[in-house]
Chains A and B, each alone.
Chain A
Amino acid sequence: MAKTIRDESTASAYWAAVNTFCALQDVHVIADAPVGCYNLAGVAVMDYTDALPYLENLTPTSLTELEIASSGSSEIVQETIEKLKETGKQLILISSAESEMIGSDHQNMLAMKYPSVRFFPSNSLGENEWRGRERALAWLFDQFDDGQPAEVEPGAVSIIGPTYGCFNSPSDLAEVKRLVTGAGGRVAHVYPFESKAADIAKLKNSAAIVVMYREFGAALAEKLGRPVLYAPFGIDETDRFIEEIGRLAGTPEEAAQFIAEEKRTTLRPLWDLWRGPQSEWFPTIRFGVVASKSYADGIKRVLADELGMQCLFSHDSATADNSAVREQIKATQPQFLYGRMPDKIYLAEADAKSRFIPAGFPGPIVRRALGTPFMGHSGVVWMVQEIVNALYDMLFNFLPITRRQPDSAAPAQPLKWTPEANAILEEIVKKAPFISQISFGRELKRKAENLAASRGADTVTPDILKQLA
């Protein structure tokens, strides 16, 4: 029996293919897909996860009934290739769930007619986005590695990094680069971002490979045959990461010095907050996390294991059942919830007073500035800073204030409005700031109706409005 999904929070392998291949500078992706798969992955969602107007290097075949019901997609794929072959980019054709439904396999056609165009079967009806990214990166190695033996450059460190659709990746990538450099390594390549497709052949020449996420990248790292590290969360893991980079880059002393310097600089705010009154709140803080696996485990390790806060739950978004998450959020109402758009909805449904902190997709969020890391030493400090500031806010909201009581409940009976009264209302509403016109208009309308009702009138007339003004 198929499971019932609430608010699907993990994309498919089709999305993985778009997000991975389009990140490469010299690649243009053709999606064998209907218009919706193009728009959602390449425009609508891309706008709100990665803050890009649209993916300029993605083109759909825009499958219609004709291809689905009778002709198949071979012809439309060829037409699309013809229009794009002058771009000078490496063309990669990917399948979508829908093209897989009609069994479109273009491998042989491409081999015969367009040998330079590569076909990646997304397996979108079989795999989720994380397995899809894993396979897409390994596939890139199989397609574009030069087969030459490795010539290891001492000190070179390459990062198997983010693709599109990886939450908060600019800040985390910047932090990982900072750590590598601080430990004495040299960042050689970041793949797929900051790279061309064929740069994958150079990765094997690195002294060490850093895999940014537990979700994907390990398969490619294994093919490279170099020592592998994972991007760290928290103080301890980050220190071990720095030491290990130092060891592999041949700069152990530099790495040790860097850790000492980190304690004096980057991490110093944590020590100051720890000695100050702020950290005394930590043991009382109840938090929950629903995010991708790296984040779910990482945030828990930092906040609960290292700083002593209470972790109510920490779920991997790819395996969590959102119906259960919804119940758990309602039942526990954590003080801080690190989560996704669905979690924000569940909080709203429960009228929970939790502080929501975006920590994963889905959900619209701009995270392009480099100052919001979760990973590394900087991540610890940023997370703690945000928590303390939120606590200050909560305190502020508890302080008493003097204000007028709103008189805005709707009257029991609907009232009529004379045309004159309506015209006056229109005039008044127009003068309000545009953004608040609706609520202003509604509030005014209710006030007028309440006033009229309190006098036993069944119609709102201009004099009622004048008395409100």
Chain B
Amino acid sequence: MENKACNKLHPQSMCPAFGGLRVLLRIDGSQLCMAADQGCLYGLTFVSHFYAARRSVVSPELMNVQISGGTMIDDLRRAIEKIAEDPAVRFIPVVSTCVAETAGIAEELLPKRVGNAEVLLVRLPAFQIRTHPEAKDVAVSSLVKRFGAFGEPKKGKTLVVLGEIFPVDAMMIGGVLQKIGVESVITLPGADLDDYVQAGRASACAVLHPFYERTAALFESAGVKIVGGNPIGANATGQWIERIGEALDLDPATVKQVADEERQKARQVMAGFESRMHGSVIVAGYEGNELPLVRLLLEAGLDVPYASTSIARTPLGEEDHRLLTMLGTEVRYRKYLEEDMEAVLEHKPDLVIGTTSLDSFAKEHGIPAIYYTNNISARPIFFASGAASVLGMIAGLIEKREIYGRMKEYFMPTE
């Protein structure tokens, strides 16, 4: 389908740096230090306290006075040293954003270690990184590169699971992997610095989200096998389990048995929803992991005419891209709000799973809409139980369409 020329004005992403802050702020024993100006600091601290961790964000003042005075790097060093006075701090991630990056930070002028704390500079300028999912990749790859114990012997049946997932999903993945004979699992982004150390000793890495390109490349160059895909929907669940088995050289019979079981369980769940899966859905989030959800919806029998995301098309997402395109979904990358709005008008879907901006537009048209980030990312989606959770919510929303119509008519009556 042709790409119409609408005005592309509003890119859809959180501030990219936030993606990195979410990863870094959640590490135990860390105390974040930012190199950022007041406005940047205010906004990023706000969203971090809301969405990342109940932890302080510390920064040396960075305004005209410090920039023109050339004291930025000394101020930063002093702030790092002050943080390190607390012996409980084991890790000081230093995050530099647009203004500090434009002024220029020479990494060699920062310490690598102070007191009990490791110090790591992570550069997250929005003008370069573009989206928050990609900044997660920058943060994770920086951590793995610095701390990964790649020099130590590999542990045979050890798997890194890469991608932020809901805690219940992590439990589920752990359970299934244990069944097929995986001996230990490291989930990244991790809450402990040691997770990043141990990740270097794994023999395979399952990349759940397609934007972890830098991190995947890093593992691959260190001889860690990369497994693509994720256990979302019946077909992919079975396939994913088999791929893990193959990558870790596990007992094929056990792997096949578990894969078949899980595939079957997911099928049963989806069959249970069959009578309620009518209608079309537009998926237009900005988290970078939207396409697997589209795959699940299509497999469950819904129509998904349009899907979009904030990230660029990547090799890790190619499998989904081909499948969805073949099944008739128009896929857009690096999308703008205006493209998504146009798709809503064109397809008049029964449900929109989008960004807050797009959702408000859909609701103005009486269409049920939910924020992908709050409702999909904060919910199990893997295996049979994940499918049940997601499809149950979606069926419920489509069935409530009338409420959305009534509210719309009340506030914006049709002439």
The yes or no answer to A6 lying at the interface (CB within 8 A) is: yes
Return B14 CB to nearest CB of chain A, in Å. 6
A98 to B10, CA, bound (A): 18
Partner of A35, one of B16, B39, B40, B57: B16
The yes or no answer to B112 lying at the interface (CB within 8 A) is: no
Return B148 CB to nearest CB of chain A, in Å. 24
Residues on A with C-beta less than 8 A from B61 are: 2-5
A349 to B55, CA, bound (A): 9
Within 8 A of A (CB), among B94-136: 97-99, 102-103, 125-128, 130-131
Please state if B46 and A40 are interface contacts (CB–CB under 8 Å): yes
Residues on B with C-beta less than 8 A from A434 are: 389
The yes or no answer to B4 lying at the interface (CB within 8 A) is: no
Please state if B82 and A98 are interface contacts (CB–CB under 8 Å): no
Residue of chain B at shortest CB distance from A128: B38
The yes or no answer to B223 lying at the interface (CB within 8 A) is: no
A3 to B79, CA, bound (A): 9
Please state if A64 and B47 are interface contacts (CB–CB under 8 Å): no
Residues on B with C-beta less than 8 A from A36 are: 14-18, 40, 43, 97-98, 126
Residue of chain A at shortest CB distance from B286: A39
The yes or no answer to A54 lying at the interface (CB within 8 A) is: yes
A417 to B174, CA, bound (A): 11
Within 8 A of A (CB), among B225-263: none
A341 to B55, CA, bound (A): 11
Please state if B79 and A45 are interface contacts (CB–CB under 8 Å): no
Residues on B with C-beta less than 8 A from A419 are: 175, 178-179
Indicate whether A40 sits within 8 Å of B49 (C-beta atoms), given known contacts A4-B60, A6-B56, A12-B38: no
- In the complex, how many residues of chain B place their beta carbon closer than 8 angstroms to a beta carbon of chain A? 68
The yes or no answer to A390 lying at the interface (CB within 8 A) is: no
The yes or no answer to B279 lying at the interface (CB within 8 A) is: no
The yes or no answer to B377 lying at the interface (CB within 8 A) is: no
The yes or no answer to B66 lying at the interface (CB within 8 A) is: yes
The stretch of B151-159, B301-309, B355-363 in contact with A is: B355-363
The 8 A CB mask of B369-389 against A (1 = contact, 0 = none) is 000000000000000010011
A14 to B99, CA, bound (A): 13
Please state if B50 and A5 are interface contacts (CB–CB under 8 Å): no
The stretch of A55-63, A202-210, A220-228 in contact with B is: A55-63
The yes or no answer to B400 lying at the interface (CB within 8 A) is: no
Indicate whether A362 sits within 8 Å of B42 (C-beta atoms), given known contacts A2-B71, A125-B64: yes
A39 to B60, CA, bound (A): 24
Residues on B with C-beta less than 8 A from A348 are: 54
Total contacts A-B at CB 8 Å: 206
Please state if B47 and A1 are interface contacts (CB–CB under 8 Å): no
Indicate whether A65 sits within 8 Å of B39 (C-beta atoms), given known contacts A83-B9, A345-B49: no
Partner of A441, one of B10, B168, B359: B168
Residues on B with C-beta less than 8 A from A417 are: 175, 178
Partner of A98, one of B65, B127, B179: B127
Please state if A126 and B49 are interface contacts (CB–CB under 8 Å): no
Indicate whether A11 sits within 8 Å of B60 (C-beta atoms), given known contacts A34-B126, A35-B130: no
The 8 A CB mask of A95-107 against B (1 = contact, 0 = none) is 0111001100000
Please state if B9 and A84 are interface contacts (CB–CB under 8 Å): yes
The yes or no answer to A333 lying at the interface (CB within 8 A) is: no
Please state if A44 and B15 are interface contacts (CB–CB under 8 Å): yes
Residues on A with C-beta less than 8 A from B42 are: 8-12, 15, 129, 362
Please state if A11 and B82 are interface contacts (CB–CB under 8 Å): no
The yes or no answer to B218 lying at the interface (CB within 8 A) is: no
The yes or no answer to B62 lying at the interface (CB within 8 A) is: yes
Residues on A with C-beta less than 8 A from B17 are: 36
Please state if B7 and A83 are interface contacts (CB–CB under 8 Å): yes
Return A53 CB to nearest CB of chain B, in Å. 3
The yes or no answer to B186 lying at the interface (CB within 8 A) is: no
Please state if A8 and B103 are interface contacts (CB–CB under 8 Å): no
Return A70 CB to nearest CB of chain B, in Å. 12
A238 to B22, CA, bound (A): 45
Residue of chain B at shortest CB distance from A67: B127
Return A96 CB to nearest CB of chain B, in Å. 7
Residues on A with C-beta less than 8 A from B16 are: 35-36
Please state if A39 and B13 are interface contacts (CB–CB under 8 Å): yes
The yes or no answer to A394 lying at the interface (CB within 8 A) is: no
Please state if A8 and B356 are interface contacts (CB–CB under 8 Å): no
Indicate whether A35 sits within 8 Å of B38 (C-beta atoms), given known contacts A97-B98, A348-B54, A438-B167: no
A40 to B45, CA, bound (A): 10
The yes or no answer to B399 lying at the interface (CB within 8 A) is: no
Residue of chain B at shortest CB distance from A422: B175
Partner of B43, one of A6, A7, A41, A441: A41
A68 to B7, CA, bound (A): 23
The yes or no answer to A236 lying at the interface (CB within 8 A) is: no
Return A447 CB to nearest CB of chain B, in Å. 16
Please state if B360 and A97 are interface contacts (CB–CB under 8 Å): no
The yes or no answer to B312 lying at the interface (CB within 8 A) is: no
The 8 A CB mask of A349-376 against B (1 = contact, 0 = none) is 1000000000001111000000000000
Partner of B67, one of A35, A102, A125: A125
Please state if B78 and A1 are interface contacts (CB–CB under 8 Å): yes
Residue of chain B at shortest CB distance from A132: B39
Return B258 CB to nearest CB of chain A, in Å. 9
Residues on B with C-beta less than 8 A from A342 are: 49, 56
The yes or no answer to A26 lying at the interface (CB within 8 A) is: no
The yes or no answer to A124 lying at the interface (CB within 8 A) is: yes
Residues on B with C-beta less than 8 A from A363 are: 46, 49
Residues on B with C-beta less than 8 A from A7 are: 45, 49, 56-58
Indicate whether A12 sits within 8 Å of B127 (C-beta atoms), given known contacts A2-B62, A101-B102, A345-B49: no
Residues on B with C-beta less than 8 A from A101 are: 67, 98-99, 102-103
A65 to B101, CA, bound (A): 11
A contact set with B: CB distance below 8 Å = 1-15, 34-41, 43-45, 47-48, 53-54, 59-60, 62-65, 67-68, 80, 83-84, 96-98, 101-102, 124-126, 128-129, 322, 326, 341-342, 345, 348-349, 361-364, 417, 419, 422, 426, 429-430, 434, 437-438, 441
18 of the cross-chain contacts (CB-CB < 8 Å) are A5-B41, A9-B45, A12-B37, A12-B42, A35-B131, A38-B10, A44-B14, A45-B43, A60-B11, A97-B99, A98-B98, A101-B98, A125-B37, A125-B64, A345-B54, A438-B167, A438-B168, A441-B171
Given contacts A7-B56, A341-B46, 17 further A-B contacts (CB under 8 A): A6-B58, A9-B45, A10-B42, A13-B39, A15-B43, A35-B16, A53-B356, A65-B128, A68-B127, A101-B67, A124-B38, A124-B39, A348-B54, A349-B54, A362-B42, A419-B175, A419-B178
* 9 cross-chain pairs, A with B, having the tightest CB-CB distances, nearest first: A36-B15, A12-B39, A40-B43, A53-B360, A36-B126, A8-B41, A2-B75, A34-B126, A11-B42
